[in-house]
Structure 1
Amino acid sequence: ERTDTTLSGGRPAADHSFLANRALWDDYFLSGIAPQNTGTYTRSREQKAVATDFFKRDAYVKLPVARYLPDLRGQDPAKIISTYFSGTSPSDAATREIASLLRVDGLFNVNSTSVEAWKCLLGSLKNRPIVVRDDTGAETIDAADGSTPVSSLTPLKATIATGDADSKHASQWVGRRTLTDDEIDGLARAIVKEVRRRGPFLSLADFVNRRVGKDKDLARAGAIQSALDSTDTRINQAYNTSRSVPTATFSRFTFPEAEKGPMAFGSPGVVKQADILTPIAPVLSARSDSFIIRAYGESVDGNGKVIARAWCEATVERSAAFVDPTDAPERAYTTINSINRFYGRRFSIVAFRWLNPTEV
């Protein structure tokens, strides 16, 4: 966060990217309940109307992140709106408490070490049409082409050549990138390797940020950026042949490894951590809230002989509500009662079944 270096006037030098990531990923929640009155929306709605439609569970009026769902816990939607809106403007309480009324359909734990799980997540945009812009600035929908589009600003229609192409070619500097199935597979494996090196991550910022410490590899970049830079994936291979800072210049820096990177970094052709994170950010978490629990029981006679066995499986889900509902979900830890400090959030059984012995 703070370095030993000082700027003019004695001001301490700060790692602004590190601090920005911590603020955005750990201290803020962006619900998407915002005014929809720009040209990108087919229907113009004020912020209060967006919230009203969402909490009424209108299946045809979702938030920009469609996997955000209302979690009212039996509360009247009209009462929620009146509580958090004064006229058409949201109250201060809304910014602090609105997250307690939302849940996510399928959060992904960044501590996962499953290559297949990461492949599913990273390739979730495969065959999805995207908005593109031609040379005149006109926007159209580009049909799916069997690949996975890389998130960036609204791109030109031309598709950039693969990471094996010559980085000096003009096609690498306009348009957009897409990823093949093999590139997704390589990236997933590289990310899992980084998760094993760095985890467990205690927060999303811990996952996104570089790891401050003596290990220069971990201190240089976050998990996904390090995976992209590794030899396990060829996504940016064409750009890694030319570096941003000459070797002779490295000695001027306290941490010269931090300056390593392709000269073309920031160009449309280079896939960056931010490009990978943008489409998946709303569904990421540093913990799991759903668990599968299996149990076994047996009955024995007086001689200790087993006369019956049973296996069962329950799927349990952690909710925002505390075990003791006296405390509202948004209450700070220091203000909740002793029961909730000890037991925490409420778990609910959402599925249960008896197992056949062959399933165990």
Structure 2
Amino acid sequence: DRNGRKGALHSAVDAVTAPAINADLSATTIGSSSLARIPQAAALSPTGVPAETPVPMGRPDQLLQADILAALGPGLAARSDTFVIRAYGDDGEMTNAGRAWCEVTVQRLPEWVVPSTEELNESNAAYRTIAASGRGATVDTLQRNARLSIINRQLGRRFTIVSFRWIAAPGP
């Protein structure tokens, strides 16, 4: 949403007007006295205003983005993105004979440059909440994985060229 409180899927669900999806969300909204117990109420509000969060939101019969992601998750491939890169080069003399344009499609794969089953980050053993320790919270739940090779830390995931082609000069 425009306030940055919801993901794209949650915003899309809120925008659906089909009567069978989250039908009774027009019911009474959360009162301001209850908002202290629900600090993330604004994220569940279709308008982004905490006091306008419908009481039924979050019930088992209500569709949330978590429900959609739970169904899609097993089919998603992490870090498998495709990029199109266009490049230009010339001979330095600015002659028409020494200029070229190309287009390459590159795919980032889930595998590391050096094959490994290690992840970039691991659980932070020092992670604690204020309630559990009585001290300040350690907010980073993850830390760098020291077992990951230096090459994989520096270069990351493997890239592969899917296609390459020379292209004509762009128009004026």
TM-score (structure 1 length as normaliser) = 0.30
Q: Is residue 261 of structure 1 aligned with residue 59 of structure 2?
A: no
Match of 2:116 in 1: 329
Provide closer, same or farther for how the CA distance between residues 359 and 330 of structure 1 changes in structure 2, counting only shifts above 3 A: farther
In 2, Cα distance between the equivalents of 1:345 and 1:288? 9
Partner SS for 1:294: strand
Query: 1:330 Cα shift?
Result: 0.9
After superposition, residues 265-344 of structure 1 pair within 5 angstroms as: 266=59, 268=61, 270-284=62-76, 289-301=81-93, 304-323=94-113, 325=114, 328-332=115-119, 333-344=145-156
Q: Is the 8 A contact 1:239 1:262 kept in 2?
A: no
Deviation sequence 1:120-156 (CA, Å, 0-9, x none):
xxxxxxxxxxxxxxxxxxxxxxxxxxxxxxxxxxxxx
Q: Measure the CA separation in 2 of the matches of 1:292 and 1:344.
A: 19
Matched-pair identity in %: 35
Normalised to the residue count of structure 2, the TM-score between the two structures is 0.55
Spell out, residue by residue over 1:272-322, the C-alpha distance to the aligned partner (whole angstroms, 9 max, x if none): 324433443234467553211111112354xx4343321111111223443
Counterpart AA for 2:69: L
Counterparts of 1:44-55 in structure 2, within 5 Å, are: none
Structure 1 residue 241: Cα displacement? 2.3
**Quick check: 2:110–2:157 contact (8 Å CA) kept in 1?**
yes
Inter-partner Cα distance in structure 1 for 2:102 and 2:8: 38
Change (3 A) 1:234 1:359: farther
Q: Is the 8 Å Cα contact of residues 90 and 100 (structure 2) preserved in structure 1?
A: yes
- Return the alpha-carbon distance in structure 2 between the equivalents of residues 322 and 288 of structure 1: 12
Q: Could you tell me how far apart the structure 2 residues matched to 1:319 and 1:305 are?
A: 39
Instruction: Judge conservation of contact 2:79–2:109 (CA < 8 Å) in 1.
Output: no
Which of 26, 29, 32 is equivalent to 1:241? 26
- Identify unmatched segments of 5+ residues in structure 2: 42-50, 120-144
How far 1:222 moved relative to its partner? Answer: 5.2
Alignment map for 1:79-98 (pairs within 5 Å): none
2:9 to 224, 234, 238: 224
Distance 1:288 1:319 in 2: 5
Q: Is the 8 A contact 2:82 2:108 kept in 1?
A: yes
Using a 3 Å threshold, how does the CA distance of structure 1 residues 306 and 291 change in structure 2: closer, same or farther? same
What CA distance in whole angstroms lies between the structure 2 residues aligned with 1:282 and 1:300?
Answer: 50
* Letter matched to residue 353 of structure 1: R
3-state SS, counterpart of residue 261 of structure 1: coil
Pairing of 1:15-34 with structure 2 (within 5 A): none
- Give 1:350's match in structure 2, choosing from 150, 162, 166: 162
Say which structure is richer in helix.
Answer: 1
Considering only aligned residues, what root-mean-square deviation do their CA atoms show, in Å? 3.7
What is the number of equivalent residue pairs in this alignment?
134
